[in-house]
Amino acid sequence: MSELDSKLSARIAKIKGATLVKSFCYSCPWNCPTEVYVRNNKVVYVKGNQDAPNNIGTRCSKGMASWWMTEDPDRLKYPMLRTNPKGERGEFKRISWDEAFTFIADKLKGIAKNYGPESVVLTCHHDPNTQFYRHLLSDLYGSPNMYAHTSGCEMDRRSACQTIFGHDFPMHDFANSKYVILWGMNMLGANQGLFESRALLEAKKRGAKIIVVDPSFTETAQKATEWIPIKPGTDGAMALAMCHHIISNGLQDKEFVNTHCEGFDGFRDHLFDKGYTPEWAEDICGIKAETIKRLARDFATTKPSMSAIFKGAGYYTNGHDGSRACYILDAICGQVDGPGNLHLKSWAPLAEPLDIPDKAKRKPNKDPLHVAMGYPLAPDLPNGQLPKAVIEGDPYPVKGLFVHSTNPVMSDPNRDSVIEMFKHLDLAVACEVLMSETALECDIVLPETSFYEMAEIRQGLWLGEEAIICQPAVAPIGESKAPYDIAKGIAQKMGWAEFFAFEHWEDWAKTATANLPGGLNQLKERGFWAKQPAFNKLVTDGVPTKTGKIEIYSHKYADQGLNPYPDYVERSVHPDNEFPLQVTHSKLSMHCNIVTQNNPMLMEICPENWVEINAVDAEKSMINDGDMVVIESPKDKITIRAKVVQGLIPGSISIRHGHGFGHWAMGSVAKGKGAHSNNLMEIHTNPVTGANCYNECKVRVRPA
């Protein structure tokens, strides 16, 4: 028996007599279906759900270590009310749930009376378990301002995808692809669906070409066929030049374009009129015209192929058109929604968990904030603009904020302005598992159950239609409550008890799964429900855009007086003599965002974040590998460890995001580890999509 086998046997022996609960992980947004083994109210083992197509029995290191959530002594255990003025470091006293619900309901009533219900905003990260707060604050209370976190994430590509394909969130069929271009997607470092990472590597083994366009020689670039070290913020120029070369050589898929696309001829004229040639793009992107031409030809002639983008290339003020150009490559080559392409996934037939009758719903009197702020095409709240709205009451007063599983003090740009914002709110509620930096700025902190302690049903992020379930495996820590029970408690104090009548999670879960084949029972038993992906369905049936076609010419843009075709304009911030380096950001493979840094196992492997700096720039600044360095922007400075690397485009640095600041205020493992970069930057918001432009930042670096 190998050492590995014997370890596994020992583990299995340990779980003998344990109960198996089918659930899913949300240590990151990819939600792998999971088997949780529980004995005596303790999680004794976790593994991926063997039958689920998302991860086929596996979990990543973050998922494997996530059981710590159920034992972390720093978890919030009871509701807490602030006792000192905002602006000072938060001090809190323990209160009962009844007091917490009364406090919140009274404040909500006051805000509605004085400013209107539109003045209450909800933001969240792990979006779907927020649905009960949405039922409460939107359907019943009447606020149109129910938002997620997308402006910090893939807002530009989401906007591009909505605009061109009428789809929110495409997946990638790497398994069947022969040629893949990844624009700033580090699939093997910051993993997205585990099946996608695996399929990418298997495609490569089969002989598929993987091209990684990224200023950094990422984990994915290291395994790719070719790394294209592009200058930051110039992907749009390269993608437009590729389109130019494809079209001027007649390599586009003429039949596909004629049948399924709107505005091809105008796009061709636009490219030719503007002179978006490979020669034009060469200096802008730092990529030889010959290389751009070769990639364009290979992409157009090797089928099936895929041009895929996520958030990396979108952290600039020109990210909206850059993302559109990357997807138009797919469109003109007919590489959409077929096997091996960008996949316009269909969604499982899940219903809302609460059935609130229309006559009980309150209609808002004001536009949602993103529209009122001047970003009608934004797929989500331009959250970089939220502090201004709160502080100045512009475009209208914002007085209440619910932050649910999101930590804007750490995650949004310009920490100072986020902290300042909290002073101007009448009601700031944190729904959290730990005392985050944001919770510390709030009036009231509500302890939520972790995903090991609560139920949830949501869409699975696999290629085919998929529903997944999270089931309570262990008892809640302390007095923590699930979102349904918290929303219900507030609803009761508001006089809306009848709409939150369910006693057990299975009751609302039955409503949510009423149309799902096999219903709740089968979902509980298997942990997921999935249907094989249907290829070409959306494209042949017509995509949900205004014209029913793939819109290379964007009617949405034209209707707003914007150029319906993507253009290339330079990003906003450029390094200069005083601040000679361009900031870029990337994630840590052993952590997820601001979620895992109080986990002692992951912190043992990766106790701090760091900055990567090219050897040429490091030598100029007399920085050695492993040194502590000071990064200074015009706004602030941080001290962080440096890694000197060859694989990063000179003139830029790459800051790994996740640690730092007070992190977390009461998290004894995380506290004080690493550095937080989000106060280096001023707020730059993409003018169309409302995305945060974290990389619009110039700095200088010196030894600490």
Ligand X SMILES: Nc1nc2c(c(=O)[nH]1)N[C@H]1C(S)=C(S)[C@@H](COP(=O)(O)OP(=O)(O)OC[C@H]3O[C@@H](n4cnc5c(=O)[nH]c(N)nc54)[C@H](O)[C@@H]3O)O[C@H]1N2
Q: Which residues of this chain interact with ligand X, rule CB under 6 A?
A: 28-29, 125, 149, 152-154, 183-186, 189-192, 213-216, 218, 230, 232-233, 235, 310-313, 404-407, 411, 431-434, 436, 448, 450-451, 584-589, 591-595, 654, 657, 677-678, 694-695
Q: How far is the CB of 649 from Mo ion (least distance, A)?
A: 23
CB 225 within 8 A of CB 211: yes
Task: Name the residue with the smallest CB distance to ligand SF4.
Answer: 63
**Member of 191, 305, 450, 589 binding ligand SF4 (CB under 6 A):** 191
Residue 386 in tokens = 């939220």
Q: Which stretch binds ligand SF4 (CB under 6 A): 21-29, 407-415, 563-571, 661-669?
A: 21-29
Q: Should residue 333 be labelled a site residue for Mo ion when binding is judged by CB under 5 A?
A: no
| Type of residue numbered 249 | N
Residues 6+ apart with CB under 8 A from 36: 20, 21, 22, 23, 43, 45, 46, 67, 452, 473
Strand partners, 36: 21, 46
* Nearest to ligand SF4 of 86, 198 (CB atom): 198
**Nearer CB in complex with ligand SF4: 360/605:** 605
Q: Which residues contact 173 (CB under 8 A, 6 or more apart)?
A: 199, 304, 306, 339, 340, 341, 342, 343, 463, 533, 535
Residue 502: Cβ within 10 Å count: 17
Q: Which is nearer to ligand SF4, 29 or 519 (CB)?
A: 29
Candidate list 15, 21, 22, 30; residue touching ligand SF4; CB under 6 A: 30
- Nearest to ligand SF4 of 31, 234 (CB atom): 31
171 pairs with which residues across the strands? Answer: 343
Task: Give the nearest distance from C-beta 153 to Mo ion in angstroms.
Answer: 3
Give me the least distance between CB of 30 and ligand SF4, in Å please: 4
Nearest distance from residue 589's CB to ligand X, in Å? 5
Pairwise CA distance, residues 488 & 34, whole Å: 28
Strand partners, 528: 468
Q: Which of 36, 43, 62, 472 binds ligand SF4 (CB under 6 A)?
A: 62
Q: What is the dihedral of CA 535, 536, 538, 543, to 10 degrees?
A: 150
Q: Is 60 in the site for ligand SF4 (CB under 6 A)?
A: yes
- Residues 577-606, one symbol each (x = binds ligand SF4 by CB under 6 A, - = not), give ---------------x--------------
Distance CA 543, CA 283 (A): 37
Torsions phi, psi for 688 (to 5 deg): -105, -50
Q: Which residue has the tokens 């707003």?
A: 560
Q: List the single partner that 676 binds among ligand SF4, ligand X, Mo ion, none, CB under 5 to 8 Å by kind.
A: none
Minimum CB–partner distance for residue 274 and ligand SF4 (Å) = 41
31 in contact with ligand SF4 (CB under 6 A): yes
Nearer to Mo ion, 152 or 236 (CB): 152
25: contact with ligand SF4 by CB under 6 A: yes
- Least distance in Å: CB of 28 to ligand SF4? 3
Judged by CB under 6 A, which of 21, 28, 65, 699 binds ligand SF4?
28
* Contact flag: residue 22 with ligand SF4 (CB under 6 A): no
User: Of ligand X, Mo ion, ligand SF4, none, which one sits near residue 591, judging by CB under 5 to 8 A according to partner kind?
Assistant: ligand X
Question: CB pairs under 8 A, 24+ apart, for 577-580?
Answer: 578/700, 579/632, 579/633, 579/634, 579/698, 579/699, 579/700, 580/651, 580/698, 580/700
- Stretches 28-36, 182-190, 536-544, 643-651: which one binds ligand SF4 (CB under 6 A)? 28-36
- 306 beta partners: 180
Residues listed for the chain: 704
CB of 412 to ligand X, least distance (A): 7
Which one of ligand X, Mo ion, ligand SF4, none is in contact with 695 (Cβ closer than 5 to 8 A by kind)?
ligand X
Contacts of 156 (CB under 8 A, 6+ apart): 311, 313, 314, 319, 320, 322, 323, 686, 689, 691
Residue 161 CB, shortest distance to ligand SF4, in Å, is 22
- Show contacts with Mo ion in window 136-155 (CB under 5 A): 153
431 binds, among ligand X, ligand SF4, Mo ion, none (CB under 5 to 8 A by kind): ligand X
In the set 23, 35, 43, 59, which binds ligand SF4 (CB under 6 A)? 59
Min dist. Cβ of residue 667 to ligand X (A): 8
Nearest of 455, 425, 456 to residue 442 by alpha carbon: 425
**595 or 655: whose CB is closer to ligand SF4?**
595
Least distance to ligand SF4 from the beta carbon of 629, Å? Answer: 30
Please identify, using beta-carbon distances, which residue of 152 and 690 lies nearer to ligand X: 152
State in angstroms the smallest separation of the CB of 329 from ligand X.
13
For helices 155-165 and 319-332, give the axis angle rounded to 10 degrees: 40
| 59 contact, one of Mo ion, ligand X, ligand SF4, none, CB 5-8 Å limit per kind | ligand SF4
Antiparallel, parallel or unpaired: β 628-632 and 698-703:
antiparallel
The residue within the footprint of ligand SF4, chosen from 15, 32, 228, 512 (CB under 6 A), is 32
Give the CA diameter of the chain.
72
**Structural contact between residues 447 and 77, judged by C-beta atoms closer than 8 angstroms:** yes
By C-beta, is 56 or 562 nearer to ligand SF4? 56
CB closer to ligand X, 405 vs 686: 405
Tell me which of ligand SF4, ligand X, Mo ion, none is bound by residue 529, counting a contact when its beta carbon lies within the kind-specific cut-off of 5 to 8 angstroms. none
DSSP label at 231?
Answer: P
Whose Cβ is closer to ligand X: residue 233's or residue 564's?
A: 233
Say whether residue 454 binds Mo ion (CB under 5 A).
no
Q: Report if residue 194 touches ligand SF4, rule: CB under 6 A.
A: yes
- The region that residue 467 occupies, defined by phi over 0 for left and psi between -120 and 50 for alpha, beta otherwise, is beta
Distance CA 623, CA 600 (A): 30
Sheet holding 444-447, edge to edge: 92-94, 80-82, 444-447, 427-432, 400-404, 120-124
From CA 402, how far away is CA 432, in angstroms rounded? Answer: 11
Contacted by 654, from ligand X, Mo ion, ligand SF4, none: CB < 5 to 8 Å by type: ligand X
Name the residue with the smallest CB distance to ligand X. 312
Nearer to ligand X, 166 or 189 (CB): 189
How far is Cα 277 from Cα 245, in angstroms, rounded to an integer? 7
Q: What residues contact residue 16 under an 8 Å CB cut-off, 6+ apart?
A: none
Contact call for residues 598 and 668 (beta carbons, < 8 A):
yes
C-alpha 163/C-alpha 222 separation (Å) is 33
Q: Which stretch binds ligand SF4 (CB under 6 A): 55-63, 348-356, 558-566, 644-652?
A: 55-63
Residue 147 binds which entry of ligand SF4, Mo ion, ligand X, none, with Cβ cut-offs from 5 to 8 Å by kind?
Answer: none
CB 285 within 8 A of CB 238: yes
How would you class 503 by CB atoms within 10 Å of its CB: exposed for 0-12, middle for 13-18, buried for 19 or more?
exposed
25 binds, among ligand SF4, ligand X, Mo ion, none (CB under 5 to 8 A by kind): ligand SF4
Q: CA angle 375-377-381, nearest 5°? A: 55
Beta-carbon count within 10 A of 440 CB: 22
Nearer to ligand SF4, 411 or 695 (CB): 411
Under rule CB under 6 A, residue 197 binds ligand SF4 = no
The residue ranges that bind ligand SF4 (CB under 6 A) are 25, 27-28, 30-32, 59-60, 62-63, 191, 194, 592
The residue ranges that bind Mo ion (CB under 5 A) are 153
